[in-house]
Copies of this chain bind each other. A is one copy, B any other.
Amino acid sequence: MADGPSGDRLVEMLAALANPIRLRIVATLAGGRDYVSHLAREIGVSRPLLHMHLQKLEAAGLITGRLELSDDGKAMKYYEVTEFDLHLTAAALAAAAQTLTPPDPPGPARKEP
């Protein structure tokens, strides 16, 4: 079976997708790469806000950004979608859950002041 990402990684990806704006972003980028300012107009979101959402998507590995120079010398950052294919079933999630970083126990455990 094509084992997916680790539990923590999966949570990060799901959290990245669990947002209307970010869903629109990947939907738009699925139709072709685009640069930040244009994408902001396309979706109808302020540029700083879009910037935050893009970072979350990129951190989750769902999109990638590349800084390029246009013909007239402007610096443009182009984003495009990564190829991903997540299959979510109860069994798949059960497998992923086993690779989660355990919740730190309050027991007589670690030593760090």
Q: Does A14 interact with chain B (Cβ within 8 Å)? A: yes
Contact assessment for A18 and B23 in the assembled complex, using a CB-CB cutoff below 8 Å: no
Q: Does A65 interact with chain B (Cβ within 8 Å)? A: no
Chain A residues numbered 5-19 whose CB sits less than 8 Å from any CB in chain B: 7-8, 10-11, 14-15, 17-19
User: How many of chain A's residues have a CB under 8 angstroms from any CB in B?
Assistant: 36
Q: What is the oligomeric copy number?
A: 2
Contact assessment for B11 and A98 in the assembled complex, using a CB-CB cutoff below 8 Å: no
Produce 1/0 per residue, A72-98, CB < 8 A to B.
Answer: 000000000101111111110110111
- A30 to B86 alpha-carbon distance, docked (Å): 18
A105 shortest CB reach to chain B, Å: 8
| Interfacial residues, chain A to chain B (CB-CB below 8 A) | 7-8, 10-11, 14-15, 17-20, 23-24, 26-27, 29-31, 44, 81, 83-91, 93-94, 96-98, 100-101, 103
Apart from A26-B93, A27-B98, A30-B94, 16 more pairs, CB < 8 Å: A7-B20, A10-B23, A11-B18, A11-B19, A15-B19, A17-B93, A20-B103, A24-B97, A26-B97, A27-B93, A30-B90, A31-B94, A44-B103, A81-B90, A84-B88, A86-B88
